[in-house]
Amino acid sequence: MVQSYKARFQIEFIFRDAKQFTGLCDAQTRDPKRLEFHFNASLTALNLAKYDTQSRSLQPETQSQPIPFSMCNYKRLAFNDHLLSRFISMLDLNPTLIKSHPNYPTLLSYGIIAP
């Protein structure tokens, strides 16, 4: 009974994240094949983000236990990475020096909900 309820809770999280962050409910078609493609693309994007987060947390230089997944945090990390890369390119800075600085991970994780 507990396992079934736990699975149901996880499924609700998947649909919530898919609705909020990957556009699950934003299809503008009524064709069943196109709707199926849209739903699959939305859920695939969510699964790829989850896989990327778990693969990063299991690397040797990071923690030994996996980081809890949050699509909100993943979105914020991707945005911060893009913004910092844009600053580096616009200011013509050396990306190797910037990205190897000890404070770079702190800048990447700025604004996330949980570390």
SS3 47: helix
In this prediction, residue 115 carries a pLDDT of 59
Residue pLDDT, tens place only, 58-81: 766 655 566 678 899 899 999 999
Burial state string for 90-109 with b = 16 or more CB within 10 A and e = fewer than 16? eeeeeeeebeeeeeeeeebe
Q: How confident is the model at residue 97 (pLDDT cuts 50, 70, 90)?
A: very high
Q: Helix 2-21 and helix 32-57: axis angle, to 10°?
A: 110
Residue pLDDT, tens place only, 79-95: 999 999 999 999 999 99
In this prediction, residue 5 carries a pLDDT of 83
Q: Which of 13, 75, 59 is nearest to 67 (CA)?
A: 59
pTM for this prediction = 0.73
- How many beta carbons lie within 10 A of that of residue 77, not counting itself? 20
Which of residues 6 and 48 earns the better pLDDT score?
48
pLDDT at residue 44 is higher than 90: yes
SS3 67: coil
Residue spans per domain, the chain: 1-67, 70-115
